[in-house]
């Protein structure tokens, strides 16, 4: 057998003298492989700790330097507030569709919406009265008159509003007048009345007339007056097609006593107030009856009808102002004389819009007096952006407050009455170190390009601090409980050897948990999960490398007997250990006042080749009598001991030479766990009660899981009690409307797929959530408008042809529409022979089946887009590529106007729809599934289409969210099992841990149901992360149980005694870190983060310190090292009880230097050698010699 290596080859800090053979008394055996691997890993940790302690100053300096350098990365951090970038699933079909839309149309929507909602202060009151409409007019008028001054210019609504389909007119005077007068798109119930014209701010001037405004403009009368002076036939036909009529002056006045009420108003003469409900029945119209119909659902909320379906009452009114997008506003004023001197840019356009929107909301909310019977709620897209920015800002006060609480708790909980043994400074340094590690982790995330969001800034600093400080407490507790006789230079190595496995296991599981949570394909939560994993990794490095250097420096302070915190001053109380030897006791037993005495023995360890077991031989001992107050004394002081010192050094073994502490000062959590908690918990009745309690909790939670609903609305995010929350609540209650579009892509021939397109529109329109237009109105789609327009000009052509105004060779005497039809009918679509006049009477622009001949399709599309701007704008077709511009000239004599360029094949077009009645997530999911099914059916017919709009962007995640959640949790539990089985080397124990973690996840999910917390991507991340966080509460207890000897109850007690204090301190520290979240202004933070994480922490504490010890005491695996008694002349046996006290028989050969056996045992395996260990040749019957007593340490310190 190999001989031990020379002393010079051993690590300097790990050197202990060789041990001699001893007479065999106890044989400890176990399977070799798990112990070998554990010992090897612990040996590495032991060497690491020794080296850190030897170079603690250098390690601390380099660690702080590295973390400080990474913290500088926060300077390049980017906070993302774009909803699409935060909540659209990465790589999903929605993401691909959104990319396709942006590729074809650009980054922005066509317009932005500003909304006013009016409700009665008394809930349920009817709002369809002239007085209520008058107050709505007052608020809307105040908002429409908003002006902001920026860049030396004044910006009002008429300059920045969205105007639909401004026509191009050849007459310059009329074109300029139309440009100034063309109305903004405002969807308001006031459009049913003449007062709707007051919201339009445009005006024009004509000689000999007062200023023309919509309040006094009668388009029909104006055209009659201008007819003799200009050719306005085309413009007249345009107005007729749009059904403009008398515009606003032909509508009733809300207040017929108004001096400006036009004589053409129906109630001008009667002076009677209109019947508001009757006028609003069926909706209202803008200036164009054909293209600007505002349905009731867009204007009224909380409607009630009679049995005939007539509107009776409503509880809410809504007006919507549409503004141009920043890109449109920039393009509109680019090169304009008003902006040529300010360096006009798209950023400036965006600034103008945001400033106007904020002022709009402010003035609208202040428009009505406080004592008014109505209340106004205003909202804009800029308001939403402001909310998201506020939501994403870091609250310095809460961060500082949370960290101060943590500092105070760490300092107080680690202070001791004995100044030289106190660790308050270590607690302060540990919290500050974890805070630095969190900052450095976030800085590293910023350097890696991971964007920050509200979850990062509002939650992660507190959550990461609570998780990191847990390991700080564990190391600090273990450092103060070093086995007796440990040399000073090996204290840090011993500490890492005893606790490094637990710290590594919990940190690795946390990182795995957060990395697994990154499987949730929501960008905001994927970023949060990755950042959390990186921050936990940085905290792990800080705890394992830098914090040991802090402990080593503090050890020097304690060794020099200096004050805690104020380390420049010496301590008035110097602790000195009094060594009690057997000769001091004589034949007496150990005094009752002493809990137990500790010394270190020499031992001999070898591997038996025959049995494949590790055998440790210990010397005999006697006179070890436990105090009668401990119910588990007979086991705790048995010669079997433990494979590592889980009990540490008790305060009762110390006698202070200079000062005595109060009795209450000797109480701590470890004392409570041993003498009160564990004996009570491990009684049979208590075990049964614990199992029944957790079984009932699990059953109740399973029921709670059925109560969890999917969803997350803006009302959950916006702070309660704010004006924004009031608006969103009213909108959700009364106006749950969403604009969506059915997008058709390229890759198929539109001209030959018209029937499939009509069928697709019909299938989509049949969905329950789709709001259909009135039966008297044609569908608002480009294909319907295009076909109807062609049918209209075909009818005009037929009339002109029949009357002889159009012949084969001339169309100049025909109408404008007849001439357009003439030009289209002669098109062949053949580049070689583009014109065929014989088709004038043999072809139709629309066939009998209602389809457009394919050869006319793209040519006719060019003509329609150029000739019907109002219809094109109303259809919201957004063609790409856009058809070429073509101007119809009826009097062209060159023939060039007969050649019409065909539009390019379409790659993008859309049908607009309105979805209504979407209140719950189930409603959204049903609508999404129906829309997707319609697109799939269209795909089978060759049409490539997909739905687009906010419901599909933000709610489609719920189609597979639960499946994704279940998959992530299952994969994570499997990973946790593998990691625990690998590091604990015990699948049995890993299975128990995973069982407890699964119970915690189910119970947390169920409690969410009782708390009314809906399932969205954010709770899913917390639920997935709960598996990793729960490891913090279970692994320490499991590892303590696994590496001790004795009965299951005894091992559970020892595990609780060692881990109860650090686990409890860690839980309290986590709760303190989360406490500051309770003060957030956002109810969402309080409910979805503070409540859920607090419940998770409490569940972890209960499961880790109550359920798991009970399960281990019943189902726990056997110890890694078990006691084996070998026959011999001196076998320890229980002495006869004397005086009601238990003791062990004394051995006359026990050397008087040994009082009792320490529970820390050392295992050395052969082969191979372990780090810091050596091999001693085995002997079948080694002898015990009193001369061997000079060594007081084990040959190796790979504890188990």
- Report the pLDDT averaged over residues 670-693: 89
Distance from C-alpha of 725 to C-alpha of 1082, rounded to nearest angstrom: 11
Q: Are 845 and 860 in contact (CB under 8 A)?
A: yes
Which tens digits make up the pLDDT trace of 958-986?
888 888 888 888 888 888 888 888 777 78
CA-to-CA separations, 275 to 278, 293, 632, in angstroms, rounded: 5, 20, 88
Share of the chain above pLDDT 90, in %: 26
| Res. 408 pLDDT band, cuts 50 70 90 | confident
- Least Cα distance to 620 among 585, 675, 567, 582 occurs for 582
Instruction: Assess whether pLDDT exceeds 60 at residue 1046.
Output: yes
| Res. 1129 pLDDT band, cuts 50 70 90 | very low
Instruction: Assess whether pLDDT exceeds 60 at residue 805.
Output: yes
Instruction: Assess whether pLDDT exceeds 90 at residue 695.
Output: yes
pLDDT recorded at residue 894: 67
Least confident span in 264-268, 423-427, 752-756, 1141-1145: 1141-1145
pLDDT recorded at residue 794: 93
- Report the pLDDT averaged over residues 495-499: 86
| Res. 86 pLDDT band, cuts 50 70 90 | confident
1140: left (phi over 0), alpha (psi -120 to 50) or beta: left
| Res. 1130 pLDDT band, cuts 50 70 90 | very low
Distance from C-alpha of 1094 to C-alpha of 1086, rounded to nearest angstrom: 10
Distance from C-alpha of 1180 to C-alpha of 22, rounded to nearest angstrom: 10
Sign of the alpha-carbon torsion through 1001, 1007, 1011, 1016: positive
CA-to-CA separations, 748 to 752, 781, 994, in angstroms, rounded: 9, 19, 53
Instruction: Assess whether pLDDT exceeds 70 at residue 1170.
Output: no
Q: Are 1096 and 1029 in contact (CB under 8 A)?
A: yes
pLDDT recorded at residue 975: 84
pLDDT recorded at residue 14: 38
C-alpha radius of gyration, the chain, whole number: 42
Instruction: Assess whether pLDDT exceeds 60 at residue 838.
Output: yes
Instruction: Assess whether pLDDT exceeds 50 at residue 256.
Output: yes
With H, G, I as helix, E, B as strand and everything else as coil, classify residue 632.
coil
Please, how many CA atoms are within 13 Å of residue 1091, restricted to the half-sphere of its CB?
18
| Res. 292 pLDDT band, cuts 50 70 90 | confident
Which tens digits make up the pLDDT trace of 456-477?
777 787 778 777 787 888 888 8
pLDDT recorded at residue 110: 65
C-alpha angle 705-708-713 in degrees, rounded to nearest 5:
160
Instruction: Assess whether pLDDT exceeds 70 at residue 650.
Output: no
Distance from C-alpha of 177 to C-alpha of 193, rounded to nearest angstrom: 24
| Res. 1151 pLDDT band, cuts 50 70 90 | very low
Least confident span in 241-250, 310-319, 513-522, 686-695: 513-522
Instruction: Assess whether pLDDT exceeds 80 at residue 889.
Output: no
SS (H, E, C) 487-533: CHHHHHHHHHHHHHHHHHHHHHHHHHHHHHHCCCCCHHHHHHHHHHH
DSSP 538-575: HHHHIIIIIHHHHHHHHHHHHHTTB-SS-TTSB-S---
Instruction: Assess whether pLDDT exceeds 60 at residue 799.
Output: yes
| Res. 1171 pLDDT band, cuts 50 70 90 | very low
| Res. 561 pLDDT band, cuts 50 70 90 | low
**Exposure pattern of 941-957 as b/e (b: 16+ CB <10 Å)?**
eebebbbbbebbbbbbb
Q: Are 982 and 33 in contact (CB under 8 A)?
A: no
Distance from C-alpha of 524 to C-alpha of 534, rounded to nearest angstrom: 16
User: In this structure, what token pair is assigned to residue 117?
Assistant: 């909602």
Distance from C-alpha of 509 to C-alpha of 345, rounded to nearest angstrom: 51
- Least Cα distance to 924 among 772, 768, 780 occurs for 768
Which tens digits make up the pLDDT trace of 116-130?
999 998 888 999 999
- Report the pLDDT averaged over residues 281-301: 88
pLDDT recorded at residue 879: 92
Which tens digits make up the pLDDT trace of 313-332?
999 999 999 998 888 888 88
pLDDT recorded at residue 622: 43
pLDDT recorded at residue 194: 93
């Amino acid at each position: 057998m190999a001989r031990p290596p020379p002393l010079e080859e051993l690590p300097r800090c790990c050197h202990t003298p060789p041990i001699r053979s001893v007479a065999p008394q106890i044989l400890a055996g176990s399977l070799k492989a798990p112990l070998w691997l554990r010992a090897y890993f612990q040996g590495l940790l032991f060497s690491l700790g020794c080296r850190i302690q030897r170079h603690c100053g250098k390690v601390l300096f380099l660690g702080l330097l590295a973390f400080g350098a990474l913290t500088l990365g926060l300077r390049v951090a980017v906070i993302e507030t774009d909803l699409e970038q935060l909540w659209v699933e990465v790589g999903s079909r929605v993401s691909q569709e959104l990319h396709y839309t942006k590729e074809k149309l650009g980054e922005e929507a066509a317009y932005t919406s500003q909304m006013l909602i009016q409700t009665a202060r008394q809930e349920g009151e009817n709002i369809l009265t002239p007085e209520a409409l008058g107050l709505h007019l007052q608020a809307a008028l105040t908002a429409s008159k908003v002006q902001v001054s920026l860049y030396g210019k004044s910006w009002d609504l008429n300059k920045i509003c969205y105007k639909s389909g401004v026509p191009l007119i050849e007459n310059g005077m009329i074109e300029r007048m139309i440009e100034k007068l063309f109305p903004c798109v405002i969807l308001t119930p006031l459009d049913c009345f003449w007062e709707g014209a007051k919201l339009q701010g445009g005006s024009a001037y004509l000689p000999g007339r007062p200023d023309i405004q919509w309040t006094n403009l009668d388009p029909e009368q104006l055209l009659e007056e201008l007819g003799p002076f200009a050719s306005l036939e085309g413009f007249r036909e345009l107005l007729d097609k749009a059904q403009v009529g008398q515009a606003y002056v032909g509508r009733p006045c809300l207040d017929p006593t108004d001096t400006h009420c036009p004589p053409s108003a129906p109630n001008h003469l009667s002076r009677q107030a209109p019947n508001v409900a009757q006028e609003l029945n069926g909706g209202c119209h803008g200036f164009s009856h054909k293209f600007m119909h505002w349905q009731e659902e867009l204007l009224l909320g909380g409607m009630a009808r009679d049995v005939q379906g007539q509107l009776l009452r409503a509880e809410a009114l809504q007006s919507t102002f549409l503004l141009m997008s920043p890109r449109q506003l920039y393009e509109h004023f680019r090169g304009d004389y008003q902006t040529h001197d300010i360096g006009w840019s798209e950023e400036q356009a965006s600034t103008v819009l945001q400033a106007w929107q904020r002022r709009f909301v402010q003035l609208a909310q202040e428009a009505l007096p406080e004592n008014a019977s109505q209340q106004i709620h205003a909202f804009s897209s800029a308001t939403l952006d402001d909310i998201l920015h506020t939501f994403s800002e870091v609250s310095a006060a809460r961060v500082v407050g949370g960290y101060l609480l943590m500092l105070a708790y760490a300092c107080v909980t680690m202070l001791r009455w004995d100044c030289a043994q106190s660790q308050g400074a270590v607690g302060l340094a540990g919290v500050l170190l974890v805070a630095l590690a969190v900052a450095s982790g976030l800085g590293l995330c910023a350097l890696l390009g991971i964007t920050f969001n509200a979850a990062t800034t509002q939650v992660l600093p507190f959550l990461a601090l609570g998780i990191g400080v847990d390991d700080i407490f564990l190391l600090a507790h273990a450092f103060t409980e070093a086995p007796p006789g440990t040399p000073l230079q090996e204290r840090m190595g011993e500490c890492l050897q005893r606790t490094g496995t637990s710290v590594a296991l919990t940190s690795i599981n946390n990182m795995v948990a957060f990395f697994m949570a990154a499987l949730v394909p929501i960008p905001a939560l994927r970023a949060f999960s990755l950042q959390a994993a990186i921050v936990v990794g940085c905290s792990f490095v800080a705890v394992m490398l830098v914090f040991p250097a802090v402990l080593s420096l503090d050890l020097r302070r304690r060794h020099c007997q200096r004050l805690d915190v104020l380390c420049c001053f010496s301590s008035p109380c110097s602790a000195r250990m009094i060594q009690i030897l057997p000769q001091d006791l004589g034949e007496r037993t150990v005094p009752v006042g002493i809990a137990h005495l500790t010394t270190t023995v020499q031992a001999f360890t070898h591997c038996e080749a025959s049995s494949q077991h590790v055998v440790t031989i210990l010397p005999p001992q006697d006179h070890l009598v436990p105090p009668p107050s401990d119910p588990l004394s007979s086991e705790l002081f048995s010669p079997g001991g433990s494979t590592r010192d889980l009990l540490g050094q008790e305060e009762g073994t110390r006698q202070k030479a200079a000062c005595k502490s109060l009795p209450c000062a000797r109480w701590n959590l470890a004392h409570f766990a041993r003498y009160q908690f564990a004996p009570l918990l491990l009684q049979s009745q208590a075990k049964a009660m614990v199992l029944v309690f957790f079984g009932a909790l699990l059953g109740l939670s399973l029921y709670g899981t059925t109560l969890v609903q999917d969803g997350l609305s803006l009302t959950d995010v916006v702070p309660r009690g704010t004006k924004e929350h009031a608006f969103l609540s009213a909108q959700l209650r009364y106006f749950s409307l969403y604009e969506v579009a059915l997008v058709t892509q390229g890759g198929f021939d539109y001209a030959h797929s018209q029937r499939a397109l009509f069928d697709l529109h019909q299938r989509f329109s049949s969905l329950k959530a789709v709001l259909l237009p009135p039966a008297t109105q044609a569908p608002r789609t480009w294909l319907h408008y295009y076909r109807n327009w062609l049918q209209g000009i075909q009818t005009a052509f037929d009339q002109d042809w029949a009357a002889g105004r159009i012949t084969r060779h001339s169309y100049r005497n025909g109408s404008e529409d007849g001439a357009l039809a003439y030009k289209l009918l002669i098109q062949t679509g053949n580049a070689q022979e583009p014109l065929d006049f014989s088709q004038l009477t043999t072809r139709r622009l629309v066939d009998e089946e209602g389809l457009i001949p394919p050869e006319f399709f793209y040519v006719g599309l060019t003509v329609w887009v150029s000739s019907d701007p109002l219809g094109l704008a109303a259809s919201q077709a957004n063609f790409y590529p856009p058809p070429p511009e073509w101007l119809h000239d009826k009097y062209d004599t060159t023939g060039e106007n007969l050649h019409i360029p065909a539009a390019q094949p379409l790659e993008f077009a859309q049908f607009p729809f309105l979805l209504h009645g979407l209140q719950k997530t189930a409603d959204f999911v049903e609508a999404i599934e129906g829309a997707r099914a319609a697109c799939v059916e269209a795909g089978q017919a060759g049409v490539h289409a997909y739905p687009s709009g906010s419901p599909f962007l933000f709610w489609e995640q719920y189609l597979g969210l639960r499946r994704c959640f279940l998959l992530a949790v299952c994969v994570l539990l499997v990973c946790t099992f593998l990691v625990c089985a690998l590091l604990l080397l015990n699948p049995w124990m890993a299975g128990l841990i995973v069982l407890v973690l699964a119970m915690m996840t189910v119970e947390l999910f169920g409690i969410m149901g009782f708390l009314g917390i809906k399932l969205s991507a954010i709770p899913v991340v917390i639920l997935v992360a709960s598996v990793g966080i729960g490891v913090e509460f279970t692994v320490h207890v499991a590892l303590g149980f696994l590496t001790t000897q004795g009965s299951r109850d005894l091992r559970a007690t020892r595990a609780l005694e060692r881990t109860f204090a650090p686990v409890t301190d860690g839980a309290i520290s986590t709760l303190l870190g989360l406490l500051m979240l309770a003060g957030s202004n956002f109810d969402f933070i309080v409910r979805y983060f503070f409540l859920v994480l607090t419940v998770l922490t409490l569940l972890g504490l209960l499961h880790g310190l109550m359920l798991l010890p009970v399960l281990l005491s019943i189902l726990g695996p056997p110890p890694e090292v078990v006691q084996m008694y070998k026959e011999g002349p001196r076998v320890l046996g229980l002495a006869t009880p004397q005086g009601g006290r238990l003791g062990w028989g004394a051995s006359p050969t026990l050397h008087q230097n040994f009082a009792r056996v320490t529970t820390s045992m050392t295992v050395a395996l052969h082969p191979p050698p372990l780090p810091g260990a050596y091999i001693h040749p085995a002997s079948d019957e080694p002898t015990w010699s009193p001369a061997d007593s000079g060594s007081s340490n084990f040959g190796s310190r790979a504890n188990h």
